[in-house]
Chains A and B, each alone.
Chain A
Amino acid sequence: MDSILLQILNGLDKGSAYALIALGLTLIFGTLGVVNFAHGAIFMIGAFTAVTFSKLLSLSFITLDPEKKNFLGQPLEIKTAYVVDWFGPTVGNGLIDWAVPLSILFSIPIMLFVGYAMERGLIKHFYHRPHADQILVTFGLAIVLQEIIKSFFGANPIPTPAPEMFRGSIDLGVLVGFAENAIIYPYWRLIYFLFSALVIGGVFAFLQFTTFGMVVRAGMADRETVGLLGINIDRRFTIMFGIAAAVAGLAGVMYAPINSPNYHMGMDFLVLSFVVVVVGGMGSLAGAVAAGFLLGILESFASMNEIKSILPGIDQIIIYLIAIIILLTRPRGLMGRKGVMEE
């Protein structure tokens, strides 16, 4: 029982990342009808905004320590962060320690701008082109973006830790009556799950309870009629592209302490997120979120030793297996709408 609970928890945080990326993908697809293969790259750029902010906070000046030598026998360079020099060690080191949560503020405008620039600069030219063209151009864009990141940050992962107070783990098992060490769970992964739930809730509330959201939903249902009412739906859809980029970017920012960011991390999530979107149902926001969590949890279960001993290699194919089963039984996915991606 405890190992089942543990894998559900693991699945929730994996599913959180899938759900956030898939939510953005669905927003773009539902509003603009674009299959955006660069969405994984946006997630990666989000993680690198956390890396960049952390590096900015750690910008240092160098003094030489004549007592210590470097590997060439020259005086050792001692780096002191400007924020430590300006605000003292307590505040300065505290700011550096909290770089990831603080970078959320830094990343939102950046990601909105990235999304806006991507849509206005490139993707709008492909609205009326076949999906194959959209896939090719956005996939190409994803590769360009990841190569740019690699040229600036290198190919190796860059450690971007969570604040010191969230680095440990909590023994959840003891809290609910299990033995010690039965359900250990890292604080940051819990925070990631809660953060994801908040962002997903925020996006749904925005679409459900604001006039802007209402117009966007109407546009998703019948773009032409909304346009005939004199509403500039294209402008709103461009803003939605920016919001979708911000959602994926925030998912990336908060993911940075879970796995050290590297330039390839977007690609690692991209294919899975597309499977999530298809399983959830093309164009269905609720379906994307539900499928994200469902597949995250199933993927975790498939990694259990007990399951793998019966079905070796199941952990590598489970997501695709579920996708096949769901598409065979429900061709539009779990919550797919009629007419979306159908001739």
Chain B
Amino acid sequence: MSIIKPTRRGLLKTGALAGAGLAMPTILRAAGYTNEPTGGTVTFGFNVPQTGPYAEEGKDELRAYQLAVEHLNGEGDGGALNTFSSKALKGNGVLGKKVAYVSGDTQTKSDAARASAKSMIEKDGAIMITGGSSSGVAVAVQGLCQEAGVIFMAGLTHSNDTTGKDKKANGFRHFFNAYMSGAALAPVLEKAYGKDRRAYHLTADYTWGWTQQESIQAATEAIGWKTVNNVLTPLATTDFSSYIAPVLNSGADVLILNHYGGNMVNSLTNAVQFGLRDKMVNGKQFEIVVPLYSELMAKGAGKNIEGVFGSTNWSWKLQDAGTKAFVQSFGTKYGFPPSNAAQTAYAQALLYADAAERAGTFNPCGIVEALEGDGSSLPDINSAANTGYLFDGLGNGPTLYRKPDHQCFKDVLVMKGKENPDNEYDALEIVEITPVKQVWYEPDNPMFAGGELGKCNPGSA
């Protein structure tokens, strides 16, 4: 029988070997990923519509991204970094590197968006891509980022498909989705207009329109409404008169406009011109609903929007600390309040930076791991899927980046076009803050079925 006597030198050697062995996967992983930063800066790629119909939203997103970069680099007042629940970011860049950025123009076209994202990744060395103001673009760029091995932090994209059938491991969405809009709106509509209603849908004929219509139809039918018709309208339509003219004669007493952007402005304007809101049908006042609102588009619709219900992801009128800090910072710099699109852009930039800081690496797989969280969950929701990265202080209360599909869950706002607004930024008012529990769904919900998250792709050095 032999006795091995432990020595101090032996213990150190063994410990070093064991430590190196344990650290091996991380070292190997850190050694090779797309656009690993080597100098004193790290480059973010902001891919937003700078031309085309959503250029104003793109501009607002870009303003928010620039503000986020300032705050990450320790400039300005720090904005929502002061209220963010995670304290990993110190205002000294990310992982000791100063944040730089490049921007591309999506033109709200999938091919142009992919080309500009590709250029930012391949030529400018962007470590991540974020932005966009359309679901078609988001799905296209998310696919590209998955193949290229960079993280995609989606901007304004509301289609269920982005984190449904088209979800990707390298993609993350902070913005809410069509299902959540339906779930938040239906109870408010029931309270305002009753259970006995007949709805006529006009729907933009592309991925977002289809999922929006499916979601709001399911939600309104669940409260007892009937669906009279759903008419698909070409995306390029500018004059909706021929689609709106038959509505009054159809027996419907509610018109649901599953339109966004210029489509929404024009279809709502046309509907009001045809006097729909002044009519009584089935003994009830005729009503119009716009499931997804944007403050910038509300300005375009002018007085037509007064009294019309819709939903948003966030509003500058919220009173939580994160919102106040962001609005103060944005308003001071630019002179007007930020939009929905700006807030989600700002939050996504900070969330990415925070994840890198917590992960200790820019490796996309490290970022995915950090954003998928430590198993924290939202209170009062009993579900095995209620797990991910829980954070607060960026606006709109506690928010969960859900691990199974990379969708953020938080409260949803039901809005209404304001009667007699004080100014052009005051077009919408908050009617209800719908608690996250009410808009929760399981990852295998049929509206989100069909896709696989897959595995993170770190790309190659």
Residue positions of A touching B, CB distance < 8 A: 2-3, 6-7, 10-11, 13-14, 68, 70-72, 76-77, 79, 150, 154-159, 161, 167-169, 181-182, 184-186, 188-189, 258-260, 262, 264-265, 268, 299-300, 303-305, 308, 315-316
Contact = CB atoms under 8 A, between A and B. Distances in A.
A71 B248 contact: no
A181 B279 contact: yes
Contact of B273 (A167, A308, A315): A167
Contacts of B281: 181
Contact of B246 (A6, A14, A262, A268): A6
B96 interface: no
Interface in B224-256: 229, 231, 234, 236, 238-239, 241-243, 245-246, 248-249
B303 interface: yes
A79 B425 CA distance: 14
A303 B422 CA distance: 39
Given A10-B242, A150-B55, A315 B229 contact: no
Contact of B301 (A150, A258, A260, A308): A260
Given A10-B242, A155-B52, A299-B242, A186 B274 contact: yes
A76 B424 CA distance: 13
A259 B239 contact: yes
Nearest to B281: A181
B304 A159 contact: yes
Nearest to B245: A6
Contacts of B451: none
Contacts of A156: 56, 265, 296-297, 299-300
B373 to A, nearest CB: 33
A57 B53 CA distance: 27
B425 A262 contact: no
Given A79-B423, A259-B238, A262-B53, 12 more contacts: A10-B241, A157-B266, A159-B299, A159-B301, A181-B281, A184-B248, A186-B273, A189-B273, A259-B265, A259-B269, A259-B270, A268-B238
Given A155-B54, A186-B274, A260 B245 contact: no
Contact of A3 (B246, B265, B278): B246
17 contacts: A7-B242, A70-B423, A150-B51, A154-B55, A156-B56, A157-B266, A157-B300, A161-B302, A167-B272, A181-B249, A184-B248, A186-B273, A189-B273, A258-B239, A259-B269, A304-B242, A305-B246
Contacts of B249: 2-3, 6, 181-182
Contacts of B272: 167
Contacts of A308: 231
A167 B56 CA distance: 28
B53 A264 contact: yes
B275 interface: yes
B336 to A, nearest CB: 8
A169 B274 contact: yes
Nearest to B231: A305
Summarize B's interface: helix, strand, loop or mixed.
helix
Contacts of B422: 68, 76
A261 to B, nearest CB: 10
A190 to B, nearest CB: 11
Contacts of A182: 249
Interface stretch (B215-223, B324-332, B402-410): B324-332
Contacts of A315: 234, 242
B316 interface: yes
Interface in B266-322: 266, 269-270, 272-275, 278-279, 281, 296-297, 299-304, 316-317
B337 interface: yes
Contacts of B302: 159, 161, 260
Nearest to A312: B232
Given A184-B274, A259-B270, A262-B262, A155 B231 contact: no
Q: Report the 9 A-B pairs with minimum CB-CB distance, sorted nearest first.
A: A159-B302, A169-B275, A155-B55, A303-B242, A157-B300, A186-B273, A300-B242, A181-B248, A156-B56
Contacts of A258: 239, 269-270, 273
Nearest to A308: B231
Nearest to A306: B246
Nearest to B238: A268
Contacts of A159: 269, 299-304
Given A159-B301, A304-B242, A168 B275 contact: yes
Contacts of A185: 274
A162 B445 CA distance: 46
A186 B278 CA distance: 12
A154 B59 CA distance: 10
